[in-house]
Amino acid sequence: MDRLLTLLNENARLTTEQLAVMLNETEENVNNAIMKYEREGVIRGYKAIINWEKVDCNNAIAIIELRVSPKRERGFDEIANKIMSLPEVDSVYLVSGGYDLAVIIHGSTMQEIAMFVMRRLSTLDSVLSTTTHFILTRYKADGIIMNAAEETDGRRDLSCD
């Protein structure tokens, strides 16, 4: 049922019926497989990918590089847990390279994010330094090209010149 995951990853709004038809399975089997994936934590949620720039509302995103000192017993887990429990935080990744944690934050304004980094992140005990990168434009996110107009079908009907 790996193909089920691939299909849902591309479009989580396909109905059980459509999935069953495409996979040549019964609806019941597909339903059971989805429930099993959800139970086991393989599928962790469903959400829409929204181009907020098209919506008339304030939205700012930043990627924050954190250098932190790991704890003797728990390594990076303790600080990562603290950070991911903050609701403003969208994603937390432990990364290799010049810094340790990559944190993605959504806020209503850049100012709000700046304040959040200053007051909540940089004040955490094991945080050594932060570097904040504000996202200026999202061209593509989660495999989706944000500006639909750029997602064109270059094929032409042969005989229509």
Partner 1 sequence: MIDYSQRLNPEVQALQPSGIRKFFDIANEMEDVISLSIGEPDFVTPWHIRQAGIRSLEDGKTWYSPNRGFIELREGICKWFMRHYHVHYEPKTECLVTVGGSEAIDGCIRCMVQPGDEVLIPQPSFVCYQPLTEMAGGVPVIIETKAEHGFRLTPEELKAAITPKTKLLILPYPNNPTGAVMRREHLEAIANVLHGTDVMVLSDEIYSELTYGDTRHVTFSEIPEMRERTIVINGFSKAFAMTGWRLGFALGPAPIIKQMTKLHQYAIMSAPTMSQLAAVEAMNNGDGDSAYMREQYDMRRRLIVDGFNALGLTCFEPEGAFYIFPCIRSTGLSSDDFCEKLIQEEHVAVVPGTAFGKCGEGFVRVSYSYSIKHITEALSRIGHFMQSHHADTL
Mutual angle of helices 16-23 and 27-40, in 10-degree steps: 110
Is residue 28 a contact point for partner 1 (CB under 8 A)?
no
Give min distance, CB of 29 to partner 1, in A. Answer: 15
CB closer to partner 1 out of 136 and 160: 160
Give min distance, CB of 53 to partner 1, in A. Answer: 21
CB closer to partner 1 out of 137 and 152: 152
Q: Count of CB atoms within 10 A of residue 34's CB?
A: 18
**Judged by CB under 8 A, how many residues of this single chain contact partner 1?**
17
Q: Looking only at residues 129 through 158 of this chain, which bind partner 1 when binding is defined by CB under 8 A? A: 153, 155-158
Is residue 119 a contact point for partner 1 (CB under 8 A)?
no
- Which of residues 1, 5, 7, 60 is near partner 1 by CB under 8 A? 7
Give one word for 74, left, alpha or beta, with left for phi > 0 and alpha for psi -120 to 50.
alpha
**Eight-class DSSP state of 161:** -
Is residue 160 a contact point for partner 1 (CB under 8 A)?
yes
Is residue 48 a contact point for partner 1 (CB under 8 A)?
no
b/e code 51-73 from CB counts within 10 Å (16+ = b): eeeeeeeeebbbbbbbebeeeee
Give min distance, CB of 21 to partner 1, in A. Answer: 4
Instruction: Say how far apart CA 159 and CA 161 lie, in whole Å.
Output: 6
Terminal Cα-to-Cα distance of the chain (whole angstroms): 44
Residues of the shown chain interacting with partner 1 in the complex, contacts defined by CB under 8 A: 3, 7, 10-11, 14, 18, 21-24, 153, 155-160
